[in-house]
Amino acid sequence: MRIHGVPEDRVRGQIRIFETGLRHTLLERPAKLNDGIIRLSEAERESLAQTFDQAAAAGRAGEFVPASGAATRMFKSLLAVYARPESTAFSTLAKEAEKGGDAKDFLTFFQNVNHFAFHVRLREALGRMGHNLDALVAAKEFRLILQCLLTSQGLGYANLPKALIPFHLYPPGLNPTGFYPAGPRTALEEHLAESQELVRDAQGFCRLHFTVSAEHEDMIMALLETVRGRWEKDGARFEIGLSQQRRASDTLAVDEGNRPCRNTDGSLVFRPGGHGALLENLHHTGGDLVFIKNIDNLVSVRHRPMVLSWRKALGGTLVRLQERVFAYLKRLRESDEPYLTEEIAHFAEQRLGLILPEPMREAASDARAAAAKKAFLLKSLDRPIRVCGMVKNQGEPGGGPFWVRSADGSQRLQIVEAAQVNTAVSQQRKILEASTHFNPVDLVCGLRNARGELFKLQDFVDPEAYFITSKGKDGTMVKALELPGLWNGSMANWNTSFVELPVEAFSPVKTVNDLLRPSHQEQ
């Protein structure tokens, strides 16, 4: 525990959570269009983008990109095929592909290998090994291709972070200005390129922060040093921060009997606490208006204008919400205007995802009730704000937008994962299944108050919104505890606005074949 920097009382508290089980989130109803989700017109989007551009020019904007995940899952199907006996014939896989599964995914990859951005580097690596990619494809010698792509004998992509995998390939002459160099471009480089169009300020500064794993930090720093000069053109300058998930955020693993698991040397088994642990990293960026998006949610240059217009609209929505909130807080603190609390309560419900407790929803009947309502609104408005994009649900994994009942009787907009809901209760299961949208992790956060001071983000976490998962270790199953998710329990007590995004604005790369989608193909 000392090595990890985890106090004993915190570890004992984690054991109690395993013993008592999770406290399920109580869903009130799904958030839908005109009931928690806003749809912007084209004119509104353009106006909001202009509002955000002014804030970005003033140096207020930055990006926070969790980039510590390895690409192992991205290549899961290819790894499964490579793990088969060496005697496995291509014809066997082709036949199995008719039934779907890993074989089908592999066949799609193999038949389109020259359409992946990394085929350039794969071709070079095979050449150094004395092989020709085209000849291997023609001869259906798939094992050598997989070996070179996935393992340390070649490119070793299965063990690299997604940030270092080439996602897009740009042919020569695509951009006459030379601002976008030709050739394969990694996910990390795409974030650098996008930042210049999204968060660049009037002095040319582009502020980004990546969270990385300890084992990959040197490689990511090396890539940044290699490509930085390529992107710092036309007066652009990067302010790039890197941080790791703190070991003190690791959580204890237990067995099925809730007894602490131990390594062979007798030491306790700790596991990473999930992306909720990154709340502290986000706080330490010291940011103001901070976009959060996953490292793999990217599009190629040809599709970027549409995506950027929506991201800027999210940013502009946040700027305008802050202006209203800060003005309301000033009026609340300085005067007792008649009906002001009713006006603010209506604004909070329509724009901040907050419905007051039942006793406070009517006009205050006496001075005591008015004072209580005013105090509630002062406390409720003075907190971080997030504006989250929501996409129509088309079967993609991820949490969804819901109205959730809080302990004080109020209702708040939340992003809720299925694991947080007690689906054994039919009413809760029906509400979960009635959701129309899902969370693509495309949000912008306001981290500072009306005085320009950073909020203490830990003050707005739901400390009971943990996840319990089962993981394999040394041939047995252990239970692991994940901290309240970064955009789930960690932001449970933020003010929230949900804005509908077109499905085209969401283009994640969860599997290698996702790179074959039109949004990742430049030619």
> What's the alpha-carbon Rg for the chain, to the nearest Å?
25
Q: How far is CA 196 from CA 5, 146, 193, 421, 455, in A?
A: 38, 36, 6, 40, 27
- Please answer whether residues 201 and 252 qualify as being in contact, where contact means their C-beta atoms are separated by less than 8 angstroms: no
Could you report the per-residue pLDDT of 195-218, keeping only the tens digit for each? 999 999 999 999 999 999 989 999
| Single-letter amino acid, residue 415 | I
Q: What is the pLDDT of residue 474?
A: 67
* Cβ atoms of residues 126 and 144 within 8 Å: yes
- Using CB atoms within 10 Å of the CB of residue 62, give its burial: 0 to 12 exposed, 13 to 18 middle, 19+ buried: buried
69 pLDDT more than 80: no
Compute the average pLDDT of residues 318-344. Answer: 94
Tell whether the model's pLDDT for residue 116 goes beyond 50.
yes
Residue 173 CA to residue 186 CA, distance in Å, equals 19
Residue type, 451: R
Q: Which of 75-89, 124-138, 153-167, 250-264 has the lowest mean pLDDT?
A: 250-264
**Binning pLDDT at 50, 70 and 90, where does residue 405 land?**
very high
Nearest to 503 by CA among 513, 489, 517: 517
pLDDT value at 226 more than 70? yes
pLDDT of residue 112 exceeding 90: yes
pLDDT at 178 > cutoff 60:
no
Q: What is the model's pLDDT at position 221?
A: 95
Of 202-206, 341-345, 393-397, give the lowest mean pLDDT range. Answer: 393-397
Residue type, position 346, single letter: H
Q: What is the mean pLDDT of residues 147-160?
A: 96
pLDDT tens for 442-473 read 999 999 999 999 999 999 999 888 888 887 66
Q: Is 133 helix (H, G, I), strand (E, B) or coil?
A: helix
pLDDT in tens, 31-68: 999 999 999 999 999 999 999 999 999 999 999 999 98
pLDDT tens digits, residue range 465-515?
A: 888 888 766 667 789 888 889 999 999 999 999 999 999 999 999 999 999
Residue 50 φ then ψ, to 5°: -65, -40
pLDDT digits (tens, 9 = 90+) for 233-282: 788 999 999 999 888 889 999 998 999 999 889 999 998 888 889 999 99
pLDDT of residue 438 exceeding 90, the answer is yes
Among the residue ranges 142-156, 177-191, 309-323, 425-439, the one predicted with the least confidence is 177-191
Write out the two tokens for 397.
């994994």
Per-residue pLDDT at 281: 95
- Please identify which residue in the block is written with the tokens 């390129």: 193
Name the residue among 296, 502, 285 with its Cα closest to residue 389.
Answer: 502
The CA-CA-CA angle for residues 69, 70, 73, to 5°, reads: 105
pLDDT digits (tens, 9 = 90+) for 91-110: 999 999 999 999 999 999 99
